Amino acid sequence: MKNNDVVQLLNEMAVLLEIQGTDKFKPKAYSRAARSIASLGEDIEAIAARGELTGIPGVGKSLADKIDAYLKTGSINQLEQLRKEIPVKVRELDAIPGVGPMTMKLLYENLGITDLESLEKAVKEGQLKGLKGIGQKTVDQISEGIQLARAGFGRTLLANAFPIVEGIQASLREIQGVRKITIAGSFRRRKETIGDIDVLVVTDEAEQLMNAFVHLEGVADVLAHGPTKSSVRLASGIQVDVRVLPADSYGAGLQYFTGSIDHNVHVRTIAQKRGLRLSEYGLYRGDEQVAGREEDAIYSAVGLDYIEPELREDKGEIEAAQHHELPKLIELKHIRGDLHTHTDKSDGANSIEEMLDAAARKSYEYYCISDHTKSLTIARGMTEEQILASISEIDEFNSSGRWKMRVLKGAEVDILSNGNLDISDEVLQQLDVVTASVHSKMKDTKEAITDRVCAAIQNRHVDILGHPTGRLLLKRSEYEVDLERVFETARASGVIMELNSHPERLDLNDGNLRAAKRYGLKIAINTDAHRIGELDNMQFGVFQARRGWLEAKDVINTYPLKEMIKLLRK
Ligand SMILES: [Zn+2]
Ligand SMILES: [Zn+2]
């Protein structure tokens, strides 16, 4: 789907037009069109093929022509023209949290800043101070944003890589002679953000495969084109490498290109101690190949149990594999329900009924509605009265028998700055599942936030601490919080830690999950879905749980309803 590309191009045009300043209305029109295309549930090319682009809210005839031109030729004349006129690298600056269109305009006009590097230099030299509308707080925010952007530079959220990878796999599979395709690298290890995409192929017709690959739809640049290795950059900016491997080396190549580097170095050392040599072509004793065709045979030949890709970070998995102590990792099929979801009663997009229908299609045993509460006004949080009304509505749903699963009554309650909750105990005690979350004052000191969270989870009605570190991948760092103290308090109060499955959150992260488990805490893997489609994000939570060494028994929503409820009640 090219929807994302079109959104980015329109946003870029909006910013460039804003800087150009000749038309006051056009930039807003472009941003509006970009927003409605971003929320389309359908492939924009299909809409264009039907000639219905002007049916998209905010897309008029002239904009539709430009989108058509892009879909057919890969470029828009007016945009190329604007780029020549105004050298601001909009996409690069846009990746910096805290830098929006108006800031870009200000920075370009006053300081000639066009990209990340010139912005970083200006911040370091204190040039931003004194610019109209830019105070010290904004400078700090931009400075932190630059660090985040640098760290995330060239990285893609795992969830955004999925459709790209699926497209590549589907196209390559159709090519004659192809026998096997696997995606290796950080994608296979299910890291939360990934760099390049590494594709491994066994084929009888390498030349044909490589020719097809460098001409795939969406390829913007061919970086290398050879018989065993080719690399391209897609229009979305992501680099894809394809390697053709001999069938006898497939397992070794898979092991090698899955990484991580630290994991591989450690495995190779173990092989050496056994008088073996491990490379991307196989495991050898002298000239003789001991293993290579199958990946698991390589592990067993060096005395290791098979190690799942998600664990390959050299963080103890190799020692555990030597002692047959690897965890039996959780799988998506173990999940019996979702305990944190929203509806249009707060800031969700779908009604309760729509969400329940979608959840029922997943054959869940239970499902909790947990809308925001009143102090989160931006999300139209619910008052006590509204929560009580929703409780009776859910009671009726349950007695109606319309859904086989049990609908649980919940709320995502705000943790106020003094550690109190924004809903009375009297109402909270009528709910099945209370999730407490921090949504405000995330810049407080570590001590203040830790105090706040610890106070909140000591409320005996709180069952789950929602997204415990508040981070948004590639956008916002974790707030400062002493997790050890939080875990300690949670253990004493019998509170569950959330693993929020939203692809931007994945919060707790892998290391924190392992720490929580060491504290004896249980985890709830929840989607925090705000629309039907986001219920599918459960898989990303499960990937992250696997990276955190979790087994089904560590996760409360793998238990049958009765046992799950018991685990919630302290
Ligand atoms: Zn939340
Ligand atoms: Zn939520």
Distance 543 CA to ligand 2 centre (A): 20
Q: Is residue 253 part of a domain?
A: no
Distance from Cα 94 to the centre of ligand 2, integer Å: 26
Same domain, 411 and 435: yes
Taking alpha carbons only, the member of 408, 387, 292, 290 closest to residue 339 is 408
Rounded CA gap, 396 and 410, in Å?
Answer: 15
Mean pLDDT, all residues of the chain: 94
- Domain annotation covers residue 45: yes
Asked if residue 98 is part of any domain, the answer here is: yes
Structural domain includes residue 249: no
Range of the domain at 221: 156-244
Do residues 221 and 266 make contact, with C-beta atoms less than 8 angstroms apart? no
Q: Would you list the DSSP string of 512-525?
A: HHHHHHHTT--EEE
CB contact burial 118-151 (16+ within 10 A = b; e otherwise): bbbebbeeebbeebeebeeebbebbbebbebbee
Question: Where is average pLDDT lowest: 118-122, 154-158, 227-231?
Answer: 154-158
CA neighbor of 552 nearest in space, from 332, 244, 277, 324:
332
Which pTM value belongs to this model? 0.83
What is the mean predicted confidence (pLDDT) over 524-533? 96
Least-confidence region, from 23-27, 301-305, 401-405, 531-535: 23-27
CA of 42 to the centre of ligand 1 (A): 27
Q: pLDDT for 85-104, tens place per residue?
A: 999 999 889 888 888 888 99
Q: Are residues 379 and 480 in the same domain?
A: yes
* Distance between Cα 101 and ligand 1 center (Å): 27
Tens digit of pLDDT for each residue in 389-434?
999 999 999 999 999 999 999 999 999 999 999 999 999 999 999 9
CA terminus-to-terminus distance, the chain? 48
For the chain, the domain total comes to: 4
The per-residue pLDDT for range 445-466, each reduced to its tens digit, is 999 999 999 999 999 999 999 9
Distance CA 355, CA 343 (A): 7
- List 314's β-bridge partners, or say none: none
CATH, residue 271:
3.30.210.10
3-state class (DSSP) for residue 60: coil
* Tokens 């006898």 sit on residue: 248
- Output the CA–CA distances (angstroms, integers) from residue 213 to 73, 210, 235, 504, in the order listed: 19, 5, 14, 30
240 assigned to some structural domain: yes
Which ligand sits closest to the CA of 527?
A: 2
> Taking the CB of residue 514, how many other CB atoms lie within 10 A of it?
17
For residue 379, name the pLDDT band (cuts at 50, 70, 90): confident
Are 348 and 381 a contacting pair, CB within 8 Å? no
Regarding whether 463 and 347 lie in a shared domain, the answer is yes
Q: What are the b/e assignments for 533-551, b being 16+ CB within 10 Å?
A: ebbebbbbbbbbbbbbbbb
Asked if residue 536 lies in contact with residue 313, where contact means CB atoms within 8 angstroms, the answer is: no
C-alpha 143/C-alpha 128 separation (Å) is: 11
Q: In the prediction, which pLDDT does 149 show?
A: 79
User: Which backbone phi and psi does 448 adopt, to 5 degrees?
Assistant: -60, -45
Answer yes or no: is pLDDT of 107 > 90: yes
For residue 350, which of 206, 529, 222 has the smallest C-alpha distance?
A: 529
Is there a domain that residue 433 lies in?
yes
Distance separating alpha carbons of residues 352 and 358, to the nearest angstrom: 10
> How many CB atoms are closer than 10 A to CB 297?
17
Q: What is the pLDDT of residue 569?
A: 74
Which tokens sit at 35? 């927003």
Whether residue 254 is contained in a domain is answered as no
Cα 101 to middle of ligand 2, angstroms: 28
Tokens 């929503």: give the residue.
557
Q: Calculate the alpha carbon distances from 38 to 2, 25, 262, 350, 420 in Å.
A: 11, 20, 39, 17, 37
190 dihedral zone (left: phi>0; alpha: psi -120 to 50; beta): left
Please say which residue of 214, 244, 274 terminates a domain.
244
Binned at pLDDT 50, 70 and 90, residue 234 comes out as confident
Q: Has residue 223 got a pLDDT over 70?
A: yes
Shortest-distance ligand to the CA of residue 371: 2
Gap between the Cα atoms of 364 and 557, Å rounded? 10
Closest C-alpha among 324, 267, 254 to residue 276: 267
Residues 280 and 411 in one domain: no
Closest to 514 (Cα-Cα) out of 540, 487, 495, 492: 487
Query: Does residue 235 share a domain with residue 169?
Result: yes
% residues pLDDT > 90 (the chain) = 82
Phi, psi angles (nearest 5°) of residue 96: -90, 115
**How much distance in Å is there from the Cα of 272 to the middle of ligand 2?**
50
Distance in Å, CA 282 to ligand 1 centroid: 47
Least confident of 98-107, 144-153, 415-424, 488-497: 144-153
Which residues lie near ion ligand 2 (Cβ < 5 Å)? 412, 528
Task: Answer yes or no: is pLDDT of 150 > 80.
Answer: no
- pLDDT number for residue 474: 85
- CA of 495 from ligand 2 middle (Å) equals 17
Q: Which amino acid is at 370?
A: S
pLDDT recorded at residue 2: 80
Quote the pLDDT of residue 570: 60
Does residue 69 sit in the same domain as residue 90?
yes
Number of the ligand closest to the Cα of 467: 1
Q: What is the DSSP letter of 342?
A: -
The number of angstroms, rounded, from the C-alpha of 388 to the middle of its chain's C-alpha atoms is: 34
Are residues 300 and 195 part of one domain?
Answer: no
Identify whether residues 190 and 291 lie together within a single domain.
no
- How far is the centre of ligand 1, averaged over its atoms, from the C-alpha of 436 (Å)? 8
Burial class (CB in 10 A: 0-12, 13-18, 19+), 292: buried
CATH number at residue 388: 3.20.20.140
**Which DSSP string corresponds to 348-379?**
-SS-HHHHHHHHHTTT-SEEEEEEEBTT-GGG
The CATH number of residue 141's host domain is 1.10.150.110
* Weakest-pLDDT range from 6-10, 271-275, 288-292, 480-484: 6-10
**CATH number (domain holding residue 173):** 3.30.460.10
379 and 514 share one domain: yes
Number of residues assigned to the chain: 570
Ligand nearest to the CA of 368: 2
Same domain for 439 and 336: yes
Closest ligand by atom to 376 CA: 1
Lowest average pLDDT, out of 146-155, 159-168, 465-474, 492-501, goes to: 146-155
Together in a domain, 418 and 551 = yes
Q: Do 410 and 505 share a structural domain?
A: yes
pLDDT computed for residue 1 by the predictor = 67
CA 438 to ligand 1 center in whole angstroms: 7
Confirm whether 327 is domain-assigned: no
Alpha helices in 112-180 (DSSP H): 116-124, 136-152, 158-173
Choose one of 303, 322, 341: the last residue of a domain.
322
